[in-house]
Structure 1
Amino acid sequence: MNIRSKLKEYKLAHWINNLFHYRRLQHNKKAYRQYGVTKTLYNSISSKDFPDKTSGAWLDVNDAAVVAEQQPGFSAFSADVQQQLKNWSRDGYLHIKNYFTAEQADAVNNAVASLIHQKHLPVTHDNKVMFGYRHSPVIKEMMHDKGLIDLLSFILGKEVQPFQTLNFVKGSGQRAHSDSIHMTTYPLGYLIAAWIALEDIHPDSGPLFYYPGSHKLPYLLNDDFENYSTRFKLGQKEYTDYEDLVEDILSKNPLEKKIFLPKKGDVLIWHANLIHGGIPVTNPDLTRKSMVIHYYAKDVVKYHEITERPSLMEE
């Protein structure tokens, strides 16, 4: 392990980094007061700082089949989306077909190719190009699509704000996980994601998989896989320990695994706790061009459970 990796085990390194980006932590100020958090904005924060591990989202505490159509704005959505919204509490996802045009998808693909070619952004070990919106107006425009934001705000019952884009050229092969271990909120349940197909997805390209209804399983946070931290040091468990626990839980629950094979322009929206991942790529010559956008509800505490860091948001 190199010195840089070793330093990241200590919370002091994160506190110093947070101080340098203090303005980007201001989004938590009101939420800290609202939920009784007495820590400074730059300090570490995790699920240990909160009294419960339950969701506060209205379609989690109510049955969408009963209450969704009673909510203002429901009638603005298409009949297909309305029906899927009624099933949100049961399924934890929506599949919207032909949401973006082929031209919009191609524009984003061209922007990503340009960013990679010009070496503005690296491709990570799991085939991600992160935060492309910071460098591309085209990606940023799709990220802020009003219709998408209105729908996601309806689902959470709070106004949402996008904060992260992940672009993929190839399949990630990522093991089953829930986003809430990485991007966490208090109350829980106030993260939501949109996965956009930027080409027709082939079954051999490493497509996305997900488990309908898995969002109703208990949230898995640090203590659940014994990733215990101290006042000054982060927990020493590996991320693979979390993934192993997820697989063990899936083996004990009769949940159907679905493979997502969308057409170009389709969008999959999923719940903060929906378990999903990437099928291993069986044909390395194939691409799986796609983009994930993550959104937080505005007036909740936003942080990263594994590293116990408050989320940095754009100024």
Structure 2
Amino acid sequence: MEHRIGNRMYHGLMYSIVVLFAVFCVTPFLLVLSSSFTSEESILQHGYNIFPREFDLSAYRVLFLDAGRLIEAYKISIIVTVIGTIASLAITAMLAYPLSLKRFKLRKALNVYTLITILINGGIVPWYIVCVKYLGLQDNLLALIVPYLCMAWNVFLLRSFFQTIPEEISESAKIDGAGEFRIFLSIIVPLAKPALATIGLFISLMYWNDWWLGLTLLNKVELQPLQLLLRTIQSNVQFIATSAQGAEIIRATGGRLPSEGIKMAICIVTIGPIVFLYPFIQRYFIKGLTIGAVKG
């Protein structure tokens, strides 16, 4: 009886801690969401609150002054994220797998070569010259995809997971007549789903949140990804005062642009796709967090 009571108290304590931690995690998001619907004067006077003191849509009106351009930027970011994630994950996996094989003769040399890309950086100017002059990555969607196709850090993470898969499995398949590529697709990839899902999430976040490639490699405004467009809006929010629509918003908000509200509205607009992506890979994500932690 005492043992059951002790177990109930222990589980109750653990559940309480988890719930409390969840509240701590959700609270910042609620503050951002509430602030995006709060008037600028209320934020400046009372600060951020979970519930809006004065409900106001001025921040979203400013943000959607050019809704067509915002939608196009959304489309570009989605296309780049989807294509970039699939291509980058495939290249990363195909490089990480041979690096994990003891029977691969060039394993050490390729490991050192991959490590050098982390330790030594040529600098922004040589990087820019290579991308623009030699690879032609300027004013096209490839400029937003190719530079991030293979990140050495992701390669080593995935290699660590591949090393936990016994080589005897691939060797037995090889005896049965399967080639390396068939072994990789039919055996290794299914076993590595948790790791691939985790690395895929990291890559998706990198592509979705990136604005640097657009800033350095794009001159065409119509090719700007969402993050770069929103960064431009936030950095130049004062120029809205010169437009007729901006003047109407200023009059409606009492003569003040909702600069704080715009920052919060930008967070809400950009977070959507990632929030929808996570539930699909949640069952793999927890297991994938232990990549390389235990070797069997």
Q: TM-score, normalised by structure 1?
A: 0.23
Query: Which protein is richer in helix relative to its size?
Result: 2
Q: TM-score, normalised by structure 2?
A: 0.24
From the CA coordinates, give the structure whose radius of gyration is larger. 2
